[in-house]
Amino acid sequence: MIKFGKILCWLMFCAVWLSNARAGEIENLRFGQGISNVRVVFDATDDFAYKVFLLDNPKRLVVDVTEIAVSSQIQKKKDKNNLVGQVRVGRIDDGKNRIVFDLQKPVVIKKVFKLAPQSTFKWRLAIDVEVASQRDFAAKVGQGNAITGKSKQTASKNQPANVTESASTRKVIVIDAGHGGHDPGAIGYSGVYEKNITLAAAKELKRQLDKEGKYNVFLTRSTDVFIPLRQRFQIARKHNADLFLSIHADSAKNRQAKGLSVYTLSETASDKEAEALAERENKADVISGLNMVEQSKEVNDVLISLAQRETRNRSSEFARCIELEMKKSIHLISDTHRFAGFAVLKAPDVPSVLLEMGYLSNKEEERLLKQDSYRKKIAASAVRAVNRYFEDMKHKSLF
């Protein structure tokens, strides 16, 4: 009997030990400072459930986690940022831990999402908070406004996926068909208008992206209308786009010039050809008599460059993905990724790329661009580039 009792105790000890051994831990905390926002990232060894909400008097960001331990080391984490202050960790009850951040300003929670392990990264929970008015903050205070997420272990197969996580993983893409209305863009070898080629290509790309079932895709224009350049990237910002792609078709005095190219923003063009191209495109606002920039160029450049610093690296990453996928089936120009001061790329918070599909001034390339089959091939490559970009972003630092 005594022997059986010892065995039973040993088995109970082993069960407790194994349970604790299996329990994961939130072992690290990181901060990423944006222009008016901060991203809080937890690194964990295992999946877990969470609940994120705001409290007032004093202002706090609260993160309740279950099914996981929390390292006491994270409350020693100090980082210079303009929104989130001191961190405290406490245990609410058995199986639930609370992490509290003191807030230095009123904020709203813009996005919460969790990423499963990829490459060298473990489980990650990211929380984006953005500075807000006191009124907006007060409207979001309380557990009734909490954003929650379950772990895979406890989520029922019969229940629908968590709405917040589904919405956050559905990326938003805005496609801009260049030119339109009274602005025909380049006029091709046989007289075809760039505005018609770009609209057809944009619609085809939207069709293929919609088919993927994981993106919300919007067009800046779906008919032959003129939209001022800066209004185009405002459409992307209105939709909180994760990517903005402006589609064009080039022209050149040299009728032999051909090949696809991709541009990202730079106030200093990569070469004279890029500089001249940007100047031509930016005149589209003047055609309509709409000058949307009231400040001097010097002041505007400083303000824009400060805001866009955060997005330029991501724009270049997307351009790299486009180049890698397009070269598999489409002829590219040398130095495919170029830089120019396109007004349409100046969204301060949306990674933006301008795609020149080819030269309408080249007889052969114009013939190809007029074909549905060729535009479908370009769109298919663009879809692969989009997929590759978002997959690559998962493997890189969240900042």
Q: Summarize pLDDT for 371-398 with one digit per residue, the tens.
A: 999 999 999 999 999 999 998 876 565 5
| Domain span(s) for CATH 2.60.40.3500 in the chain | 24-155
Is the pLDDT confidence value at 347 over 90? no
Is the predicted pLDDT of residue 248 greater than 60, yes or no? yes
Q: How many residues does the chain have?
A: 399
Match 């999402």 to its residue by tokens.
113
Query: What's the sign of the alpha-carbon dihedral 246, 251, 254, 256?
Result: positive
Q: What is the pTM of this model?
A: 0.60
**Digit-coded pLDDT (tens) for 137-186:** 999 999 999 999 988 766 544 444 444 444 456 899 999 999 999 999 99
pLDDT in the model for residue 291: 38
Measured CA angle at 144 (ends 140, 146), to 5 deg: 70
The partner residues of 118 in beta bridges, in order of sequence, read 121
**Class of domain 170-395 (CATH, top level):** alpha beta
Output the six-digit token pair for 217: 């895709």
CATH 3.40.630.40 domain position(s) in the chain:
170-395
Answer whether CATH 2.60.40.10 is correct for domain 24-155: no
